[in-house]
């Protein structure tokens, strides 16, 4: 479970959000929505310990097992590593042969699950937008996280590719009980995959039913 109590974050004088409160249950698949600059990415960074909170409290069950797929990645056309090697970057170093075998099995399983097996040897720079997002997801999964945070991973993807990616995430959520925080601007996807959304608005956060989300709410 993630519980946020009276959390406030400001950068200098600029207050991003003030005294926000919410809970996310284990195994929940929740959307996080709000306009650009509302503080969604900042919240995630605080949860991950990558950014300091200004005040407030965060209670979390499994602090170390968050898989985070960041909003921006700089993989250009010349990027040399292939998809499997890119995934493996996130594995912890170990000399223990048993752990290494276990890691390899895990990589294998995730490659299958994300439908990347056949293109595992392809340089990531040459992969399509959807394949790249799947590779980012796959990399975040190799450490067996219990919480997965997707920061606008479906932005700029074609509709059918979005659905493919989200179906996969949904399956991980249902079968493996993975808690998913899905940051998005896509009201259709929130309705299709989640029941509840945390709406960032006017420096605060409100938990709403996805059916309350209007088309132009985060423009």
Partner 1 sequence: MFEYEFMREAFIASTFIAITAGIVGVFVVSRNMSFLSHTLSEIGFAGAAFGILVGISPLAGMILFTLISSIAVGSLSTESSRREASISAISSLFIGLGILFLSLSSESSSYATNILFGSIVGISAKEVTQLMFLAIFVIVVFIISYKPLTFDSFDHIGAQASGLNTRLLSVVFLITLALSVSIGAQIVGSLLVFVLLTLPGATARYLVHSVPKLLMISVGLSLAGVWLGLYLAFVTNWPVTFFISAFEVIAYFLGLSYKNWKLSH
Ligand X SMILES: Nc1ncnc2c1ncn2[C@@H]1O[C@H](COP(=O)(O)OP(=O)(O)O)[C@@H](O)[C@H]1O
Query: By the criterion CB under 6 A, which residues form the site for ligand X?
Result: 11, 16, 34, 36-42
Using rule CB under 5 A, residue 153 touches Mg ion: no
Count other Cβ atoms within 10 Å, centred on residue 215. 8
According to CB under 8 A, which residues from 78 to 107 bind partner 1?
A: 78, 80-82, 85-86, 89-93
Query: Quick count: other Cβ atoms within 10 Å of Cβ 196?
Result: 16
Task: Report in angstroms the alpha-carbon separations of 212 from 10, 30, 70, 116.
Answer: 29, 14, 27, 36
Size of the site for partner 1 (CB under 8 A): 27
CB of 9 to ligand X, least distance (A): 8
Q: What is the number of the residue whose Cβ is closest to Mg ion?
A: 41
Comparing CB distances to Mg ion, the nearer of 35 and 122 is 35
Q: Record the tokens describing residue 85, joined without a space.
A: 């090697």
Find the shortest distance in angstroms from Cβ 175 to ligand X: 29
Q: Check residue 41 for interaction with Mg ion (CB under 5 A).
A: yes
Choosing among Mg ion, partner 1, ligand X, none, which partner's interface includes residue 34 (Cβ < 5 to 8 Å by kind)? Answer: ligand X
Q: Which pair of structure tokens corresponds to residue 119?
A: 């293109």
- What letters, b where the CB count within 10 A reaches 16 and e where it falls short, cover 164-190? bbbebbbebbeeeebbbbbbbbbbebb
From the CB of 140, what's the least distance to partner 1, in Å?
8
In the complex, minimum distance from the CB of residue 151 to ligand X, in angstroms, rounded to a whole number: 7
């Amino acid at each position: 479970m993630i519980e946020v109590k009276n959390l406030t974050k400001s950068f200098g004088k600029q207050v991003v959000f003030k005294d926000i409160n919410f809970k996310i249950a284990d195994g929940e698949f929740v959307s996080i929505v709000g306009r650009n600059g509302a503080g969604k990415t900042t919240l995630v960074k605080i949860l991950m310990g990558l950014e300091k909170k200004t005040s407030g409290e965060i209670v979390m069950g499994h602090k170390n097992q968050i898989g985070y797929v960041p909003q921006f990645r700089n993989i250009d056309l010349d990027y040399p590593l292939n998809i499997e090697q890119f995934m493996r970057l996130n594995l912890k170093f170990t000399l223990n042969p048993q752990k290494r075998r276990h890691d390899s099995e895990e990589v294998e399983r995730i490659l299958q699950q994300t439908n990347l097996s056949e293109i595992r040897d392809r340089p990531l720079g040459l992969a399509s937008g959807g394949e790249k997002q799947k590779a980012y997801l796959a990399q975040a999964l190799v450490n067996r996280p219990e919480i997965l945070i997707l920061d606008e991973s479906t932005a700029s993807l074609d509709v059918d590719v979005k659905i493919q990616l989200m179906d996969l995430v949904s399956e991980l959520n249902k079968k493996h009980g993975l808690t998913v925080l899905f940051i998005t601007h896509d009201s259709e996807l929130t309705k299709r995959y989640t029941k509840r959304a945390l709406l960032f608005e006017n420096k605060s956060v409100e938990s709403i039913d996805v059916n309350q989300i209007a088309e132009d709410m985060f423009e």
